[in-house]
A and B are shown apart, each in its own frame.
Chain A
Amino acid sequence: MKRSAKGLRAFRVRCELAWVAVALAGLSAVAGADNPPAFRTGVLPLLTKAGCNAGACHGAATGQGGFKLSLLGYDPEEDYERITRERGGRRIDRAAPAESLLLRKSSRQIEHEGGRRLPRSSEAFRKVLHWIEAGAPYGSRELRVLGIAVSPDDVLLPSTNRSVSLRVTARLSDGSREDVTRLALYSSNDDAIVEAGPQGEARVIGPGATSVMVRYSGQVAASRVASPFGGAEVMNPLAASEHWIDRQIGAELKRLRIPGSGPSSDAEFLRRAHLDVIGRLPTADEARAFLLKPRSREDRQRAIDALLQREEFVDFWTMRLADLLLISGRRGSEEATRVYHEWVRAQVARNTPFDELARALLTSSGRLSADGPSNFFTLASDPRDMAEHAGRIFLGAQIACARCHAHPTDRWTQEDYHRFAAYFARVSREGDFIQSGERGEVEHPKTGEPLEPRPLGARASTAPQGADRRVELARWMTSPDTTQFSRAIVNRVWRHMMGRGLVEPVDDLRPTNPATHPGLLAALAKDFVAHGHDLRWLIRSIAVTRAYQLASRTTGLNRLDDRFYSHAYLKELPAPVILDAIAQVTEVPDAFPGYPEGARAVQLIGTRTPSYALDVLGRCSRDAACDGGGRRGGGLALALHLINGPTINARLRSGVVAHLLAQGATGREMIEELYLRAFTRRPEAAELAEWERMFASASDKATAAQDLLWTALNSREFAYNH
């Protein structure tokens, strides 16, 4: 053998060992032994299970060795053609079935680069042979798998190293049900927590919970598998709360035996709520006023309500929506970008229901420089690209895989994808205008037939076509029945507030990637819809819970928890928020070219305003989605910039230090003021003592104050929302 294919082979060797084990274990009968199995439901699953049509083998876009199968068998009719007719039918030998190339290759009686997939002794081999002996029939064209169910679909195992055998049942179009446990494909969403064996054995190897994804014949399902953190029962840290969110979070903590942290201090709460709700720190005066006396739950609620009415709320959530909508300024004129930004801002200010906002965007037309929402369609000119953007933004879905083949981890077919894209086929851009016309189609990639638009996952169009296809799309997408719409936005806001989405990543909602708390996500979405898609209501609902108001300090035992909300998770501040916080603490505003003095970074329109500080802090460029946290900046370059760069250093002399010196403040007063500004708290005794000593030994008060300010802005406490 030539040295050549060895690299690829190493991978195959491992696959093969796993699959040999499967084959030796034998495959259970799917159809009766006497009737020849149908190709789609009886033969193809055997090939899929053996790995023949995996992406690295014949399922690759260009096949392997001149033999191509559809990825994981999404196109049975074409696979049947290729197996029985292509190459003059050499792959199937009806006269001498055992001599069929399909069998001789896959059992490696003759050279097969993919190795031995179906050993001759295996039941799968015998079944394929039996099928060829019966004349290799396609069988019923109508018979198909409508859905699969996995049981148990939610299970708590008592400890690590325990396992559960999942059972998978397929529901067929003829009304029958079949046990397909041995033929389904299994994979764990987090194999540091659960390992999934090829036969559906789910073994817990670490505490916590994750899901096992199950795939069979184009259908998908998932089973949540969990095991507790500790051996001992724990108190529900949220037991005192009547709030429905707290009840669900608390119950899961108790079930998984994760101890909860205590409540946050008033100072911690105030800082957190300001940063999360309005994207800025409390001023020293605001901090002083709130910390005058211990605050009740009602006081905290009033504080949240007040924040929701602030002008800065509008700026901050406009920025968040602009991040989501990718308002970068690179796709249209400066004027158009400004108009678009202003429109979004007006919706936030007016508290436009989110479904209404989505409908306005999805059906927009007009002049880019006058009709803000029409800029939505500058995201892409190709209807397929536009469909992918819309899917990500409003459904939190990654549908792109289905462009070229059936989605391997979701239920979308290629036809679903292109029918969805057909909604955008008649939008066009003519210079400064976005218009919806009567011409334009998306064709089926195989047949070339123009496709009628259809909602994702629907079997038929839900309404007759109006003049503008997008009206129907917008109606479907924002309908209360399309729960993925509300779940997607609710999940994004939840992550913003809580530091982790109920589903992660937030742009990958699919049945095989279920939420950590599925019931809670559903309830949040329902509540959001019931309250008129009101973003302020949603933010408030989360902010008033005890779960949101837990301390971030861990108890030790819950240190490892990163998804059950046993404590508040540390959140990095978004780049514009840090920059604004530095400006606010130092009282030295930024000067952004083209903006009035005092403009804050969160108010910037688009992302073209040059700012090395924002770049190195990691602003979302809005070229592509920042959902995945794949932001630039950070690292050593950021550390050097914070230590030596002008973002902090050019703000130490003037501003707050100069003002305090002019007022004749004592060292102690300066220390208190800076702590309140940067950390929303007063220094503790040890801290005060430390810095008073520093002031006493410094050559002059100004230098001491500048050094202290520099230190506070570079400190760990300043860098996080805790």
Chain B
Amino acid sequence: MRSHPPIRCDGVSRRDFLHLGVLTALGVSLSDLLRLQGAEGPGAPRATSCILLWLDGGPSHLDTFDPKPEAPSEIRSPFGSIPTSVPGVRICEHLARTAKVMGDVALIRSLTHELGNHDTGARFLLTGHRPTPALQYPSLGSVVAHELRSDSAMPPYIAIPNDAVGGDSGGARAGYLPGAFSAFNVGDDPSRARDLNPPEGVSFSQADHRRDMLRRMDALSRAVEEGPATKSRDAFFEQAYRLMASSEARAAFDLERETAAVRERFGRTRLGAGCLMARRLVEAGARFVTVVDTGWDTHQQIARELPDSRFPGSGKLPSLDHAYSALLTDLRERGLLESTLVVLMGEFGRTPKLNALGGRDHWPRAGFVCLAGGGVKGGQVIGATNAFGETPSDRPISPPDLAFTILRLLGVDPAKELVTPGGRPVKVLAEGGFISGLV
């Protein structure tokens, strides 16, 4: 006998269909159910790594990737817009290099949610869960590190310079997952991670000897029990020693090994160095690298702050343009773009109306995300906002949809159940669906 129920031609079993009948009566459509079951989405994942460029503070969609040149002056960006390599798609004039690589980018213009504080908005975007005080959800980077475990010496999840994003919301941390799955913070020097080698005068063999002593001392001590509190500390020590043992992994953290030409290409900015290091880390086996660029909370003087009016060619937009376009080009040239998903986003968009100070305030109803690589079909725009950029007019995409999509592209099952330290089963994501047409 067959052990599974008979399958109809369209792939829905009879039992499912009966079940479906009930659900339909309750207002669930067939497409909902199919999506709930994860029937949509990519086939075999092509992405093995993800680089997230996080624009901390909430980047203005109107002044970057969703310009509204036709809107009245109190809404329109102070900057002009330019055509891109994708016909019909225009972006901000200060993103000229990016305009040339838009053929690799799927631009989502209809990201929307309702959490207008930095901390809650960032947690929503970075975890795919609406924040609640009852449970700290893990960041996508931590989930990826947890699910795509590897024995590599390279830490699976790395943050440049650190994971204190969204007003230090904890959104980029491990949440209820063990601390071992939180990000390795590279630190403030974007050209080199510190403390990777034994100190001067200590050989690797002496370092090994000390490590051995440490194991024995901890084993002999009865004062502090191993428990949930100590576990994460112990795991970090383990990880540290694995990293120290691999000269290859250590080298990945050193930008001095790149030629001057490559460094110029990414721009001699912190963001440029961060993007270049992210590329090196992904090349060396890191799974998820978050590069944080701060200063996007532009409540005032967008016209002077985004491109720095004192130093032409510098400022937030030019350095982003430089680093982001270089990252995509460099990954493509090295054949890494197919296996590396690059995500560009922040916690929300900004108010369509310019405020009295020439800035824009928080606006979670509308925002943008750029997805590239990792099997994503570039050269397309998904969703749109209305004429004034206030709210999605087409295909609203929620943070859980985005999280769902990122995880699926990386081969992580969003429906999988994880377990909290208290023993409670929690799905990787509670909601969300794959953004169709993306791959």
> Is B197 in contact with chain A by the CB < 8 A criterion?
yes
Assembled-state Cα–Cα distance A679/B114 (Å):
51
- Asked whether, in the complex, the Cβ of B431 is within 8 Å of the Cβ of A7, the reply is yes
- Asked whether, in the complex, the Cβ of B168 is within 8 Å of the Cβ of A624, the reply is yes
Kindly list chain B residues whose C-beta atoms are within 8 Å of the C-beta of A56.
Answer: 114, 130
- Asked whether, in the complex, the Cβ of B27 is within 8 Å of the Cβ of A3, the reply is no
| Chain A residue at minimum C-beta to C-beta distance from B391 | A62
| Contact code string A363-387 (vs B, CB < 8 Å = 1, else 0) | 0000000000000000000000000
- Asked whether, in the complex, the Cβ of B224 is within 8 Å of the Cβ of A720, the reply is yes
| Chain B residue at minimum C-beta to C-beta distance from A647 | B195
Q: Given known contacts A115-B27, A644-B196, is B214 in contact with A714 (CB within 8 Å)?
A: yes
Kindly list chain B residues whose C-beta atoms are within 8 Å of the C-beta of A720.
Answer: 224, 229-230
- Asked whether, in the complex, the Cβ of B195 is within 8 Å of the Cβ of A637, the reply is yes
Kindly list chain B residues whose C-beta atoms are within 8 Å of the C-beta of A714.
Answer: 210, 214, 237
| Chain A residue at minimum C-beta to C-beta distance from B183 | A635
Kindly list chain A residues whose C-beta atoms are within 8 Å of the C-beta of B424.
Answer: 191-192
**A5, A60, A643: which has the most chain B beta carbons within 10 Å?**
A643
Kindly list chain B residues whose C-beta atoms are within 8 Å of the C-beta of A681.
Answer: 223
> Is B11 in contact with chain A by the CB < 8 A criterion?
no
Assembled-state Cα–Cα distance A635/B234 (Å):
10
Residue among A6, A707, A712 making CB contact with B433, cutoff 8 Å: A6
> Is B194 in contact with chain A by the CB < 8 A criterion?
yes
- Asked whether, in the complex, the Cβ of A716 is within 8 Å of the Cβ of B233, the reply is yes
| Contact code string B192-207 (vs A, CB < 8 Å = 1, else 0) | 0011111100100011
Assembled-state Cα–Cα distance A392/B431 (Å):
33
> Is A590 in contact with chain B by the CB < 8 A criterion?
no
- Asked whether, in the complex, the Cβ of B31 is within 8 Å of the Cβ of A6, the reply is yes
Assembled-state Cα–Cα distance A62/B116 (Å):
12
- Asked whether, in the complex, the Cβ of A637 is within 8 Å of the Cβ of B185, the reply is yes
Nearest-CB distance from A644 to chain B (Å)? Answer: 4
Assembled-state Cα–Cα distance A188/B424 (Å):
14
Kindly list chain A residues whose C-beta atoms are within 8 Å of the C-beta of B183.
Answer: 635
Nearest-CB distance from B140 to chain A (Å)? Answer: 16
> Is A600 in contact with chain B by the CB < 8 A criterion?
no
Assembled-state Cα–Cα distance A646/B198 (Å):
10
Kindly list chain A residues whose C-beta atoms are within 8 Å of the C-beta of B224.
Answer: 552, 570, 716-717, 719-720, 722
- Asked whether, in the complex, the Cβ of A6 is within 8 Å of the Cβ of B197, the reply is no
Residue among A572, A630, A641 making CB contact with B170, cutoff 8 Å: A630
> Is A638 in contact with chain B by the CB < 8 A criterion?
yes
Kindly list chain A residues whose C-beta atoms are within 8 Å of the C-beta of B28.
Answer: 13
Nearest-CB distance from B334 to chain A (Å)? Answer: 26
Assembled-state Cα–Cα distance A717/B222 (Å):
9
> Is B396 in contact with chain A by the CB < 8 A criterion?
yes
Of the stretches A75-83, A234-242, A247-255, A682-690, the one at the interface is A682-690
Kindly list chain A residues whose C-beta atoms are within 8 Å of the C-beta of B26.
Answer: 16-17, 20, 115-116
Residue among B114, B184, B234 making CB contact with A716, cutoff 8 Å: B234
Assembled-state Cα–Cα distance A640/B183 (Å):
13
- Asked whether, in the complex, the Cβ of A268 is within 8 Å of the Cβ of B365, the reply is no
- Asked whether, in the complex, the Cβ of B194 is within 8 Å of the Cβ of A508, the reply is no
| Contact code string A7-39 (vs B, CB < 8 Å = 1, else 0) | 111110110110010000000000000000000
| Chain A residue at minimum C-beta to C-beta distance from B202 | A649
| Contact code string A270-293 (vs B, CB < 8 Å = 1, else 0) | 000000000000000000000000
> Is A559 in contact with chain B by the CB < 8 A criterion?
yes
Which residues of chain B (30-46) have a CB below 8 Å from chain A?
31-32, 35-36
- Asked whether, in the complex, the Cβ of B243 is within 8 Å of the Cβ of A7, the reply is no
Which residues of chain A (676-721) have a CB below 8 Å from chain B?
679, 681, 684, 686-687, 690, 694, 703, 707-708, 710-712, 714-717, 719-720
Instruction: Kindly state the interface size class of chain A when it binds its partner.
Output: 35 or more
Assembled-state Cα–Cα distance A5/B169 (Å):
28
> Is B134 in contact with chain A by the CB < 8 A criterion?
yes
- Asked whether, in the complex, the Cβ of A707 is within 8 Å of the Cβ of B35, the reply is no
- Asked whether, in the complex, the Cβ of B216 is within 8 Å of the Cβ of A116, the reply is no
Of the stretches B264-272, B339-347, B348-356, B397-405, the one at the interface is B397-405
Q: Given known contacts A559-B227, A711-B213, is B395 in contact with A2 (CB within 8 Å)?
A: yes
| Contact code string A194-209 (vs B, CB < 8 Å = 1, else 0) | 0000000000001000
> Is B179 in contact with chain A by the CB < 8 A criterion?
yes
- Asked whether, in the complex, the Cβ of B209 is within 8 Å of the Cβ of A707, the reply is yes
Nearest-CB distance from B395 to chain A (Å)? Answer: 4
- Asked whether, in the complex, the Cβ of B239 is within 8 Å of the Cβ of A643, the reply is no
Assembled-state Cα–Cα distance A28/B194 (Å):
66
Assembled-state Cα–Cα distance A249/B217 (Å):
34
> Is A639 in contact with chain B by the CB < 8 A criterion?
yes
> Is A4 in contact with chain B by the CB < 8 A criterion?
yes
Q: Given known contacts A639-B239, A643-B195, A690-B220, is B230 in contact with A716 (CB within 8 Å)?
A: yes
| Chain A residue at minimum C-beta to C-beta distance from B432 | A7
- Asked whether, in the complex, the Cβ of B27 is within 8 Å of the Cβ of A108, the reply is yes
- Asked whether, in the complex, the Cβ of A191 is within 8 Å of the Cβ of B134, the reply is yes
Assembled-state Cα–Cα distance A694/B216 (Å):
11
Nearest-CB distance from B147 to chain A (Å)? Answer: 19
Nearest-CB distance from B42 to chain A (Å)? Answer: 16
Residue among A13, A553, A572, A707 making CB contact with B225, cutoff 8 Å: A553
- Asked whether, in the complex, the Cβ of A6 is within 8 Å of the Cβ of B134, the reply is no
Kindly list chain B residues whose C-beta atoms are within 8 Å of the C-beta of A569.
Answer: 229
Kindly list chain B residues whose C-beta atoms are within 8 Å of the C-beta of A703.
Answer: 206
| Chain A residue at minimum C-beta to C-beta distance from B225 | A553
| Contact code string A53-74 (vs B, CB < 8 Å = 1, else 0) | 0011000111000000000000
- Asked whether, in the complex, the Cβ of A690 is within 8 Å of the Cβ of B227, the reply is no
Which residues of chain A (608-653) have a CB below 8 Å from chain B?
612, 616, 621, 623-624, 628, 630, 632, 634-641, 643-646, 649-650
| Chain A residue at minimum C-beta to C-beta distance from B383 | A4
Assembled-state Cα–Cα distance A195/B214 (Å):
44
Kindly list chain B residues whose C-beta atoms are within 8 Å of the C-beta of A61.
Answer: 114, 116
Q: Given known contacts A189-B134, A192-B422, A570-B227, is B31 in contact with A644 (CB within 8 Å)?
A: no
| Contact code string A102-123 (vs B, CB < 8 Å = 1, else 0) | 0000001000000110000000
> Is B248 in contact with chain A by the CB < 8 A criterion?
no
Kindly list chain A residues whose C-beta atoms are within 8 Å of the C-beta of B241.
Answer: 643
> Is B58 in contact with chain A by the CB < 8 A criterion?
no
- Asked whether, in the complex, the Cβ of B395 is within 8 Å of the Cβ of A640, the reply is no
Q: Given known contacts A192-B423, A554-B225, A570-B229, is B400 in contact with A11 (CB within 8 Å)?
A: yes
> Is A669 in contact with chain B by the CB < 8 A criterion?
no
> Is B314 in contact with chain A by the CB < 8 A criterion?
no
14 CB-based A-B contacts, threshold 8 Å: A7-B396, A10-B400, A14-B430, A624-B167, A630-B170, A632-B168, A635-B182, A635-B236, A636-B240, A643-B198, A707-B210, A715-B217, A716-B218, A716-B234
The 5 closest A-B pairs by CB, nearest first: A7-B401, A192-B422, A639-B236, A4-B395, A639-B240
Could you list 12 further interchain pairs (A-B, Cβ under 8 angstroms) beyond the known A10-B32, A10-B431? A6-B32, A6-B401, A115-B26, A189-B134, A552-B224, A612-B187, A616-B187, A639-B237, A644-B197, A694-B213, A712-B217, A720-B224
